[in-house]
Amino acid sequence: MREQASNTTVCIFVVADGQEHPVKLSNAFYGCGLSKSVISRSRATASHGSIRSIPPTKIADHTGRTYSSTSKVSLRWYYDGGTQTFPETFYIADAATTDLPWDAILCDTAESPSSALVPQANTILRAPGGADSQREKERKEREEVNRKKYERERREQVDRIREAFASKQARAKHG
């Protein structure tokens, strides 16, 4: 379901595992016919993700332009305004292509903007009829049992203290 035109400019954010702050990629492309996602070295470095070396890899777009990569970084990304994140391995464009006119290019298997930005419907599940009232009844019963146990233990403790005090006073009188 790839209804977006080729070379659609999108704004995405990427974030590496263990990082709190996402990196904004305001000039990313979607729908360029890439089999792998590509990211500029500066944006990959800014993500603070773990960059791993790989054997030299060539990635070609639908126009025949190729990008060379000898490293990659695994990040999570999401569209600006989106609520869902997607894991992605980005191949880092090598130094020979540092003057790239983009921050990243998403591969063709990446989630399309139109489907990723559709609000997700979350089904609200209810317990079967009567189950909530039964749980509430059981909770109240446990609460009452615990309250009575607490009061009984408190009375017993007060009685022990009184007995110890009375015993101490009796010994002092006779002592």
> pTM of this prediction?
0.63
54 or 62, which is more confident: 54
DSSP string across 92-125? EEPGGG-S-S-SEE--TTSPPHHHHTSPPP-PPP
| Predicted local distance difference test score (pLDDT) of residue 64 | 85
Q: What is the Cα–Cα distance from 77 to 74, expressed in whole angstroms?
A: 10
Q: What is the Cα–Cα distance from 134 to 112, expressed in whole angstroms?
A: 46
Q: How far is CA 33 from CA 7, 57, 98, 143, 160, in A?
A: 9, 16, 21, 63, 83
Q: What is the Cα–Cα distance from 41 to 51, expressed in whole angstroms?
A: 10
Residues contacting residue 67 through CB under 8 Å, at least 6 positions apart: 38, 58, 59, 60, 61, 91, 93, 94, 97
Residue pLDDT, tens place only, 60-75: 888 888 889 999 999 9
CATH 2.40.50 fits 8-116, yes or no: no
Tokens coding 57: 């890899």
Q: Can you tell me the mean pLDDT for 153-159?
A: 89
Residue pLDDT, tens place only, 100-147: 788 999 998 888 877 656 555 555 555 555 556 777 888 888 888 888
Instruction: For the chain, give every domain's residue range.
Output: 8-116, 125-175
The per-residue pLDDT of the chain, averaged, comes to 84
Work out the pLDDT band at 1, boundaries 50, 70, 90. very low
| Predicted local distance difference test score (pLDDT) of residue 96 | 62
Alpha helices, DSSP H only, in the chain? 41-46, 113-116, 131-174
